[in-house]
C-alpha cells in the first residue's frame, strides 16, 4: 500500500509538471501582453523595458524554469491585469469555485444515486422509464443551453431565482443545477447498470433465499458491491465539477476561477492563467488520488502490489 501511494504521488508530480509545461507553451502562443499594456504612443524603449519587468526578454526555457522554481516556493508571479500577486487573486476566487463545484457534486449524487437504485430494483416500471428519460435529457442537453433556459424560466419569466452573480444564498441554485445535471444523469445510468449486474448474481439470490430482508439485500449486499464503478466516476466527477466550470461560470457571471481563467486569457495575463491552471490541476489530481485510496477501504478484495 505504501509503495502504491508513493508511486501515485510520483505520477501526480509528473502530471502537474506536464500540465504546467503545456499551459506555459499555450499561454505564450496566445499573444504578447505588452500589446494590451502599452498604447500606440509607446516607444521601442518602453516595449523593451516592459519586457524586462515581465521577464519576457529571456528565452522561453529560462522563463519556464523561473516559473517552475517560483511555483514550487508558492510564488505564482504577479498578475498583469490585476497588478498584484497571482496567489492573492486565486485565493479570492477559489471559495466561489469550490462552493459551486461541491454543491453541484452533491446534486449529482443526491439525484443520480437514488434514481439509479430505484430504476434497478423497479426494472421496467414507470420509475425506471422516468429514470431513463432523466438520464437521456441530462446527458444530451449542453450546459450553456440548459443554463440559458433556466435563466429564462426561473429568473426572467417567473422571477423566482437571481439570474447571475453571487449575492444571496439562492444564487447558487441555477448554476449548481446546470453544472451538476449532466453528472446526475451519468450517475443514474452507471448506478443502474452496476446494480443490475449485481442483483443478478448468485449470492444475491442466495441471500434472498435465506430470508434476508429485501432492503438489506439491496443496501448491504448489492449496493456495496456495485459501488466501485460509481466511486471511480465520482472521483472524476468531483475533479471535473471543480475544474470544469468555465462555461457555467461565464453564463451566470459566477465570480470563480473559471471566469477568472477566461478573463486572464483575453487579457494575455500569463502568470494569472498559469496559476489558475496549476490550481485546477492540483484539485483534479487530489480528487483522483483520494478515490484510489478509498478503493481498498470499500472493497477488501482490492490489493495494490
Average pLDDT score over residue span 44-48:
78
Chain centroid to Cα 293, Å, comes to 19
Under the banding of pLDDT at 50, 70 and 90, the label for residue 130 is: confident
CA–CA separation, 105 and 110 (whole Å): 9
Q: List, in sequence order, every residue forming a beta bridge with 12; answer none if it has no partner.
A: none
pLDDT at 214: 66
Contacts of 203 (CB under 8 A, 6+ apart): 221
CA–CA separation, 271 and 77 (whole Å): 6
Listed range (28-32, 98-102, 287-291) with the worst mean pLDDT: 28-32
Radius of gyration over every alpha carbon of the chain, rounded to an integer in angstroms: 24
Query: 243 or 192: which carries more pLDDT confidence?
Result: 192
Average pLDDT score over residue span 69-88:
81
Flag whether pLDDT at 220 surpasses 80: no
* Range 61-65, long-range pairs (CB < 8 A, 24+ positions): 63/24, 64/21, 64/24
- Whether the CB-CB separation of 195 and 120 falls below 8 Å is answered with yes
Contacts of 202 (CB under 8 A, 6+ apart): none
Average pLDDT score over residue span 6-28:
80
Query: 102 or 5: which carries more pLDDT confidence?
Result: 102
Name the fold adopted by 1-305: MetI-like fold (1.10.3720)
Flag whether pLDDT at 183 surpasses 60: yes
pLDDT at 258: 85
pLDDT at 299: 59
By CB atoms closer than 10 A (0-12, 13-18, 19+), residue 28 is middle
Under the banding of pLDDT at 50, 70 and 90, the label for residue 50 is: confident
Under the banding of pLDDT at 50, 70 and 90, the label for residue 280 is: confident
Contacts of 82 (CB under 8 A, 6+ apart): 89, 269, 272
pLDDT at 20: 81
Average pLDDT score over residue span 279-287:
83
CA–CA separation, 222 and 230 (whole Å): 13
Listing DSSP states for 114-155 in one string gives HHHHHHHHTTTSHHHHHHHHHHHHHHHS-HHHHHHHHIIIII
- Whether the CB-CB separation of 189 and 116 falls below 8 Å is answered with yes
pLDDT at 29: 72
Whether the CA torsion 162, 168, 173, 174 is positive or negative: it is positive
- Whether the CB-CB separation of 108 and 180 falls below 8 Å is answered with yes
Flag whether pLDDT at 39 surpasses 80: no
Residue with C-alpha cell 466501485?
A: 228
Amino acid at each position: 500500500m505504501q509503495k502504491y501511494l508513493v508511486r501515485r504521488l510520483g505520477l501526480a508530480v509528473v502530471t502537474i509538471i506536464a500540465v504546467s509545461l503545456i499551459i506555459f507553451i499555450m499561454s505564450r502562443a496566445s499573444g504578447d501582453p505588452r500589446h494590451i499594456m502599452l498604447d500606440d504612443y509607446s516607444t521601442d524603449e518602453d516595449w523593451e523595458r516592459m519586457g524586462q519587468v515581465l521577464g519576457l526578454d529571456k528565452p522561453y526555457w529560462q522563463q519556464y524554469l523561473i516559473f517552475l522554481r517560483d511555483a514550487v516556493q508558492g510564488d505564482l508571479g504577479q498578475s498583469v491585469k490585476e497588478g498584484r500577486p497571482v496567489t492573492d487573486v486565486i485565493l479570492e476566487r477559489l471559495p466561489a469555485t469550490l462552493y459551486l463545484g461541491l454543491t453541484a457534486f452533491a446534486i449529482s449524487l443526491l439525484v443520480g444515486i437514488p434514481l439509479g437504485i430505484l430504476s434497478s430494483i423497479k426494472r421496467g416500471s414507470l420509475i425506471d422509464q422516468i429514470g431513463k428519460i432523466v438520464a437521456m435529457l441530462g446527458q444530451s442537453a449542453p450546459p450553456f443551453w440548459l443554463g440559458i433556459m433556466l435563466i429564462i424560466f426561473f429568473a426572467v419569466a417567473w422571477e423566482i431565482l437571481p439570474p447571475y452573480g453571487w449575492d444571496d444564498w439562492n444564487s447558487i441554485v441555477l448554476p449548481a443545477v446546470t453544472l451538476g445535471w449532466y453528472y446526475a444523469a451519468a450517475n443514474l445510468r452507471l448506478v443502474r447498470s452496476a446494480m443490475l449486474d449485481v442483483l443478478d448474481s448468485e449470492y444475491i439470490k442466495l441471500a434472498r433465499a435465506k430470508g434476508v430482508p429485501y432492503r438489506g439485500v439491496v443496501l448491504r449486499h448489492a449496493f456495496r458491491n456495485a459501488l466501485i464503478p460509481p466511486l471511480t466516476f465520482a472521483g472524476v466527477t468531483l475533479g471535473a465539477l471543480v475544474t470544469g466550470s468555465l462555461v457555467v461560470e461565464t453564463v451566470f457571471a459566477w465570480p470563480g476561477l473559471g471566469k477568472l481563467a477566461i478573463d486572464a486569457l483575453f487579457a494575455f495575463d500569463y502568470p494569472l492563467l498559469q496559476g489558475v491552471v496549476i490550481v485546477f490541476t492540483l484539485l483534479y489530481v487530489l480528487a483522483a488520488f483520494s478515490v484510489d485510496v478509498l478503493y481498498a477501504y470499500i472493497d477488501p478484495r482490492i490489493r495494490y502490489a
